[in-house]
Amino acid sequence: MDSSVAPVMIEDGQKETRLVSTKQKSSRGGWNAAIFVIFVEMAERFAYYGLAGNLITYLTNELHEPLTTAAKNVNTWIGVSTLFPILGAFIADSYLGRFNTIIISSVIFLLGTVLLTLSVSVFPLHLRKAMSFLALYILSVGEGGHKPCVQTFAADQFDEVTPEEKKAKSSFFNWWYLGIVAAATSASLVVIYVQDNIGWTEGFGIPIGVIAVALTIFLLGIKKYRKEDPVGSPFTGVAQVFVAAARKWRMDETHHGRGVYYGVPSEGQPNTWIFARTDQFSSVAPVMIEDGQKETRLVSTKQKSSRGGWNAAIFVIFVEMAERFAYYGLAGNLITYLTNELHEPLATAAKNVNTWIGVSTLFPILGAFIADSYLGRFNTIIISSVIFLLGTVLLTLSVSVFPLHLRKAMSFLALYILSVGEGGHKPCVQTFAADQFDEVTPEEKKAKSSFFNWWYLGIVAAATSASLVVIYVQDNIGWTEGFGIPIGVIAVALTIFLLGIKKYRKEDPVGSPFTGVAQVFVAAARKWRMDETHHGRGVYYGVPSEGQPNTWIFARTDQFRFLDKAMIIDNIDISSKTRNPWRLCSLNQVEEVKLVLRLIPIWFSCIMFTVVQAQLHTFYIKQGSTMIRSIGHFHIPPGSLQALVGITILFAVPFYDRVFVPIARKFTGHPSGITVLQRIGVGLFLSILNMVVSALVEAKRVSIAKEYNLMDNPKATIPMTVWWLLPQYVICGFSDAFAVVGLQELFYDQMPEALRSMGAAAYISVVGVGSFIGNAIISVVQAISSRSGDKWLGNNLNRAHLDYYYWVLAGLSALSLCVYVCIAMRFVYKKVEEVEKTNGGRISPTAPTQNTHRPTIQIFGLPFQDIAKQLLVKANQISDMESVIFRDRAASADMAFTGVISSSTEEKQCFLTTDRAASADMAFTGVISSSTEEKQCFLTTGWGVSALTSSALRFEKKLNEM
C-alpha cells in the first residue's frame, strides 16, 4: 500500500472507549498517605528482622541444629520469603489490589509471628522445630503479599505529574529505605537483645505488638490513600503483543500498514502513558483503531482530587515502619532463637533463616499479583497485615504456650504465616504509598522524587528500633516478650493505617497484568513472518481508557524488535470489525513488555549482592557471639549488632538526599545527581569491599583464638572486642543505602503501571533467590571443604574457615559486578511523553502570538497546518476512507472535542478531534462560524468523505486567512 494512504479506524473487540477520562485527581496520596505505609513497612521490617536477624541463633541454640544446617535453613527461609512476593505481587496487581493485599498479608504475617512465639513457649520440644518452621513459612507467606505491595503502595501516594509530589517522590525511596533500615536496626538492637537475654518467647512476641500497632495505624490512614484497583493479569497484554507481532511477521509497515493503534485507557486507572514512537510519521499517517471493549473519549476528565500526597503517604509509611519493626524484631534474632531455643546446629539454623527470608521475599510476587489483579493494593495491605499479625501472635504463643516437642513446628508455622503476610504487604505498601503522589502535578511530582529516600529512612528507623528494643528483650527478658512486642506495634500500625482511609488514592484492580504480557508474545508469534516494511499498515497506538488522568506515549525502541510486529496493523487487522487483542497490541503494550524484559538481566546481576547481605543475619551474628560484647555491665546481644547497619543508613540516606545529590547534580546535570543504575553499581562495589573486610577481620579473630589456645573451645569468648566488626557493618549499611534504594526506585519507575507491585516484588525476590543461592553456596563449600576433613563452616568457628567463605563470596561478587556493568551500559531507560503536558501527543494551544502570525500548533511534532493539508489530499484521493484520527485528551467533555480559533485574541488554539459518538454533543458538523469574532473550527472524524473534505477545505481556508 502506498505511504500516502490515509489512516483508518478499526473497532476494538475488547473495549470501545471514548477518549475522555472522567476520573479526577484526588487530594489523597502524597506524604500524608505515604507516611502510614512507611510506618507499616517499618513495623513489618522491625518484626521481620526481629525474627530473622537472630534466627540462626534460635536454630542452633534452641532447636540444636548444626551450624551448616541452620545457615541453610535461614537462607532457605529468607529465599522463600523473597520469592513469595512474586506471587503476592501478581495477586495484588491482578485481583486484590495493593491495599487489600497489604492488609491480608499483614494479618498472615501477624499469625506467623504469633505461631512462632507459641512454638517456643507452648509446644513441647519434639514439636517445637516443626512448629517453628511452620510459623516461619507462614511469615514468608505474609511477606509474599506484603513486600511487593507496601513499597509500591507507598510510592503510588505520590503523583508523578504534580511537580510537588514528583519532587517528593524523587527522594521517597531513600526515606522509605531509611525507615526500613531504622526498623531493622531497632529490631536488631531490641528484639535480638530480648531474645538473647530475656527469652525467645519475649523476643518473638515483641514483633506481634509492633505489627498489630502498625496494621492499626495503616488502617487509620485509609482515607488518605490513593488506591488503584487491580486490572487483571498484566501478562495478558504482554502475550498479546507477542501474538500480534507474530501474526504480522510478514507484514511490511510502510506498504501495508494503516497506522499505529494508541489504545484506550481503562476505567479506574490513574495514569495512562503513551510511549512516543520517533518514526511514527515517517511514512504512514497516524490512525485510530476503535477499541470495542469500551467506548471512551480521548479527553481525560479525571481531575486531581484532594486525596493522596504526603497526607496519605505518611499513613502508609507508618504501617510499613511498623511492619519492618515487627519483621526485623522477629528476623533479626531468629538465628539465636533457632540455635538457643530450638537447639538447631549453626549451619542448619543459618539455612532455616535463609530459607524463611527467601520464602518471605518470594511470597510478595504472589501478593503483588493478587493486589494488582484482584484485591487492589489497599485491600491487600490490610489483609496481609492481618495475616502478619496472626503469624506474630502464633509465633509468640509457640514460645509461651506450646510444649517443647511442638515448639519447633509451631514456630516455623508461625514464621511462614508471617511470610504469607509479607507476601501481600511488601509489594503493595511501598507502591501504595508512592501512588499517593501524582506524577502529573508538579508539587506532588517533586514530593515523590524524594519519597523513596524517606520511605527507606522510615524502614531503617523501624528496623534499627527493632534491633535495639525487640532483640534486647528477646535476649535479656524472654522470647515470649520479645515476640510479643511486634504484635502491639503491628496492631497499632494497622489501626493508624485505617484512619487514613479517606486520604488515600486507591485504584481498583483490573485483572491479571500477565494477560497483557501474554498477548504481546502471542501476537508477535502470530506475525513472526510478517515484513513490517512491505506488509505493515501502520502502528497501532491504542486508545486510552475512561478514567485515566494521564496518557503517555512510549518511545519506540530498537531492542526486542521481534515484539514490534505485535503492534503492526496488517490487512487482517484492517478487515476485522473488532480488534483481536491476541493479534494486535498497542505500542504502549509492546513497550511495557520490553520494559520488563530489560529489567530481567539487572535482576540476575544483583543476586550476589543479596547473598552478601544475607550474611548479616547468619554468620555475622555468630562471629559477634564469640567476641567481647560488654560495655561496662551491659552486654550487647550479637543480633543487635545489626543495628549498626541501620544507624549507618539513618545517617547515609539523609546525607545522600540532602548533600550528595545537590552536589552531584551540579557536576552531572542529572536531577538525581547520578543515575539509578550508577547508584546500584556503587552499592554492588561496596558489597565486595564488605566481604574483603569481613574476611580480614575473621582471619584476625581466628589468629587471636589460636594465640590464646581457644581453638577447641567454641563457647569461649575471644579476647577481641566486637567493635572489630564495626567496619563491615558500616560498609554493609552504605551498600544498602546505595543498592537497595536504587533497586526499589528502578523497579518502580521502569516497570509498567499495571506491574508496579510486581516490580516491588521483583526486587524483593532478588533477596529470596539470593538466600537460596547462599544455601547452595554453603552446601557446595561444605561438601568441598569436608573432603579435607576440616569444614569451612563448622559449628566451631575457631576451627572453621569462615574467612575463606567470605573470600569466595567476594570473588563471586566481583564477577557479578562485571556482568552488571556490561548490562547497565546497554540499559535503555523508559522514555515517555505525556499527552496532556507535551506536544508529543497533544494538540497543544500555543503561546500568545501576534494576529499576523499563524499559530504554531503541532500534532506529534508536526505542524497542524501540514496535517490539515495532508488530510485534505488524502480525502480527495481515497474514496473509501472511513475517518481520520487524533486524540485530544485536553479538551473538556463539554467542549465536545472542539478547538477554538479566536481571531480576536493573540492566542491561537486549535484541536483536532476524534469521537464517533460526538453527535450527542456537537455533531462535528465541520462548521466554521464566521458571524462572530470567535471562530470555531470542528474537524470532523465522521465516516463520510464529503464531510471530511468540507471540513478540511474550510479549515485550510481559515488557516490561510490567518
Instruction: Collect all residues with Cβ–Cβ distance below 8 Å to 477 and sequence separation of at least 6.
Output: 194, 197, 198, 199, 202, 203
Unique residue bearing C-alpha cell 509457640: 398
**Mean pLDDT lowest among 68-77, 527-536, 542-551, 802-811:** 542-551
> Mean per-residue pLDDT for 163-180?
74
CB contact at 8 A, 377 and 94: no
Instruction: Collect all residues with Cβ–Cβ distance below 8 Å to 667 and sequence separation of at least 6.
Output: none
For residue 897, pLDDT beyond 70: no
pLDDT in tens, 286-299: 333 334 333 333 33
Question: Residue length, the chain?
Answer: 962
Q: Give the pLDDT confidence score for residue 231 in this predicted structure.
A: 67
- Does the model's pTM come out above 0.75? no
Q: How confident is the model at residue 260 (pLDDT cuts 50, 70, 90)?
A: low
Helix (H, G, I), strand (E, B) or coil at 552: strand
> Who has greater pLDDT, 773 or 169?
773
Amino acid identity, position 600: I
CB contact at 8 A, 66 and 189: no
> Mean per-residue pLDDT for 501-517?
76
> What is the grid cell recorded at 544?
486510552
pLDDT in tens, 302-359: 334 567 788 888 888 888 888 888 888 888 788 888 888 888 887 788 888 878 887 8
CB contact at 8 A, 378 and 96: no
**Mean pLDDT lowest among 261-265, 319-323, 492-496, 844-848:** 844-848
Mean pLDDT, all residues of the chain? 72
CB contact at 8 A, 407 and 129: yes
Q: How confident is the model at residue 685 (pLDDT cuts 50, 70, 90)?
A: very high
Q: How confident is the model at residue 72 (pLDDT cuts 50, 70, 90)?
A: confident
pLDDT in tens, 182-214: 777 777 777 777 887 788 888 888 888 888 888
Nearest to 808 by CA among 765, 776, 850: 776
Q: Give the pLDDT confidence score for residue 233 in this predicted structure.
A: 67
DSSP H or E run through 202 = helix 200-203
Q: Give the pLDDT confidence score for residue 692 in this predicted structure.
A: 94
**Mean pLDDT lowest among 27-36, 313-322, 533-542, 897-906:** 897-906
For residue 790, pLDDT beyond 90: no
Rounded CA-CA distance 202/183 in Å is 18
Q: Give the pLDDT confidence score for residue 28 in this predicted structure.
A: 76
With a pLDDT cut of 70, the percent of the chain lying above it is: 74
Q: Give the pLDDT confidence score for residue 12 in this predicted structure.
A: 44
How do strand 858-859 and strand 862-863 relate by DSSP bridges?
Answer: antiparallel
Helix, strand, coil percent content, the chain, rounded in steps of 5 = 60, 10, 30
Q: Give the pLDDT confidence score for residue 809 in this predicted structure.
A: 92
**Mean pLDDT lowest among 247-256, 549-558, 759-768, 769-778:** 549-558
Other beta carbons within 10 Å of 390: 32
Nearest to 688 by CA among 739, 724, 726: 739
Amino acid identity, position 16: E
What backbone torsions phi and psi does residue 332 show, to the nearest 5 degrees?
Answer: -60, -30
pLDDT in tens, 117-128: 888 877 777 788
**Mean pLDDT lowest among 149-153, 534-538, 623-627, 747-751:** 534-538
Q: Give the pLDDT confidence score for residue 833 in this predicted structure.
A: 55
Other beta carbons within 10 Å of 931: 6
Q: Give the pLDDT confidence score for residue 74 in this predicted structure.
A: 82
Helix (H, G, I), strand (E, B) or coil at 815: helix
End-to-end CA distance of the chain: 36
> Mean per-residue pLDDT for 176-180?
74
Q: Give the pLDDT confidence score for residue 912 in this predicted structure.
A: 36
For residue 265, pLDDT beyond 50: no
Q: How confident is the model at residue 380 (pLDDT cuts 50, 70, 90)?
A: confident
> What is the grid cell recorded at 527?
506475525
Q: Would you give the DSSP letter of residue 339?
A: I
Amino acid identity, position 354: N
Burial class (CB within 10 angstroms; exposed 0-12, middle 13-18, buried 19+) of 485: buried
Helix (H, G, I), strand (E, B) or coil at 79: helix
Nearest to 98 by CA among 362, 386, 319, 426: 426
How do strand 832-834 and strand 858-859 relate by DSSP bridges?
Answer: unpaired
> What is the grid cell recorded at 398?
509457640
Rounded CA-CA distance 432/371 in Å is 10
pLDDT in tens, 268-316: 444 444 444 444 333 333 333 334 333 333 333 333 456 778 888 888 8
**Mean pLDDT lowest among 156-160, 214-218, 292-296:** 292-296
**Mean pLDDT lowest among 262-266, 630-634, 900-904:** 900-904
> What is the grid cell recorded at 808?
569466595
pLDDT in tens, 642-674: 778 878 888 888 888 888 888 888 888 877 788
For residue 548, pLDDT beyond 80: no
Rounded CA-CA distance 569/259 in Å is 7
> Who has greater pLDDT, 257 or 143?
143
**Mean pLDDT lowest among 144-148, 486-490, 576-580, 598-602:** 576-580
Rounded CA-CA distance 221/316 in Å is 7
CB contact at 8 A, 531 and 250: yes
Q: Give the pLDDT confidence score for residue 945 in this predicted structure.
A: 31
Instruction: Collect all residues with Cβ–Cβ distance below 8 Å to 231 and sequence separation of at least 6.
Output: 93, 94, 266, 268, 269, 372, 373, 508, 509, 510, 511, 513, 754
> What is the grid cell recorded at 834?
505525556
**Mean pLDDT lowest among 108-112, 241-245, 908-912:** 908-912
Helix (H, G, I), strand (E, B) or coil at 348: helix
Taken in order of first residue, the domains within the chain and their CATH numbers are: 30-224+307-506+607-825 (1.20.1250.20), 231-301+513-585 (no CATH), 858-961 (no CATH)
Q: Give the pLDDT confidence score for residue 531 in this predicted structure.
A: 73
Q: Give the pLDDT confidence score for residue 961 in this predicted structure.
A: 54
Helix (H, G, I), strand (E, B) or coil at 834: strand
With a pLDDT cut of 90, the percent of the chain lying above it is: 5
Q: How confident is the model at residue 567 (pLDDT cuts 50, 70, 90)?
A: confident
Q: Give the pLDDT confidence score for residue 479 in this predicted structure.
A: 84
